Amino acid sequence: MSEGMQYRISRARIFLFFTYFIVIAVAAVLPILFKVTFFYYASYYVLYFIILSEAWNIFGGYCGYVNFGVAGFAGAAAYTDAYLIKIGVANFTTALFCGALVAVFLGLLLGYCTLRLRGDYFSIASVALATIVQMIIISRPELGGGLGFVIPMPEPPQPYTTFVEFLFVVMVVIASTSVLISWKVAKSWIGMGLVAIKDDEIAAETLGVPTFRLKLLAAIISALFIGLAGATLPSYVIYLDPYSSMAIEVTVTTLASAYLGGLGFWYGPLVGASILGTASRVCTLTIGSEFNVLVIGIILVVTIMIAPSGIVGAIKKRVKEGNR
């Protein structure tokens, strides 16, 4: 690697870390100065899908393994968090990390059992695992069964006046960290190995790439952030049920965000989820939430027709053509 390239990478690293801390600092102060509750409720939705799509992209975008079980992972984490808070054995922070650990366990389970499968077989297995998780929750009366249950709203820590303000800060921290980790993976040997697996797994194995270990690592990182996002859901919705928390819309929006922004680019899901999340909230306010999936579908189809590699991919292509 040339000195000039190392210098550019160092500058990019410093800028990214500086931006990371600035974003978190602004998010921590904003609810104290800006008391508009609806803004924080709407922002949660956008941040939720930024985290989910960034996490999914690490496994599905870099590695090429399409996981259709996002809603199941997030739902399992949500129910773990909600149940621990309901029975009074954990506070918000402890329950949050317990929910994330459950999602990591599911990621390990999915990895060890199915990562030797390829293509459609793995995708089918991920759907099956999510369905099994949902059926288990529905069958358990202590989890509310198919009806769900109400979660007590935690008290907001000072200086925040409502819990949704504090939740906004938590979501910004998780979302910013997911973007930072996604960038770190993409720029490291791990990302290079995952891309090699995506391009040709057999050739990667022949060249000595530890394919199974890298896929398992990607699955764990992805599941961790999906779990962290899902575990915040009970404190946002207050009422949790297995049908809305694990709805197919969650998986569709997650995948659509990654494809819209640019699959395989570390900041592609950030762009895609910001656009789709904002469009969804606007639709909810204007024409009703029933049209969310329709709007997402239209935006995705138009983007694929105009820019098959996503918004980020199209911009990068234009820049390259302009430099020729």
pLDDT for the residue 238? 83
**Close Cβ partners of 219 (under 8 Å, ≥ 6 residues apart):** 59, 65, 107, 108, 110, 111, 115
> Is residue 106 a part of any domain in this protein?
yes
Above pLDDT 90, what percent of the chain? 40
> Is residue 119 a part of any domain in this protein?
yes
pLDDT for the residue 166? 94
> Is residue 90 a part of any domain in this protein?
yes
**In this model, does residue 324 exceed pLDDT 70?**
no
pLDDT tens-digit map of 132-163: 999 999 998 888 888 888 887 778 888 899 99
**In this model, does residue 118 exceed pLDDT 90?**
no
**In this model, does residue 4 exceed pLDDT 70?**
no
pLDDT for the residue 56? 95
> Is residue 256 a part of any domain in this protein?
no
pLDDT for the residue 17? 84
pTM above 0.85, yes or no: yes
Residue 95: which domain range?
A: 3-246
pLDDT for the residue 38? 87
pLDDT for the residue 26? 94
The number of residues in the chain equals: 324
**In this model, does residue 25 exceed pLDDT 90?**
yes
> Is residue 285 a part of any domain in this protein?
no
**In this model, does residue 78 exceed pLDDT 70?**
yes
Question: The domain that contains 101 carries what CATH number?
Answer: 1.10.3470
pLDDT tens-digit map of 29-51: 999 998 888 889 989 999 999 99
Residue 239 phi, psi (nearest 5): -105, 125
**In this model, does residue 249 exceed pLDDT 70?**
yes
> Is residue 272 a part of any domain in this protein?
no
Ranges 46-50, 67-71, 235-239, 313-317: which has the least confidence: 313-317
Mean pLDDT calculated for residue range 236-258: 88
Report the domain count for the chain. 1
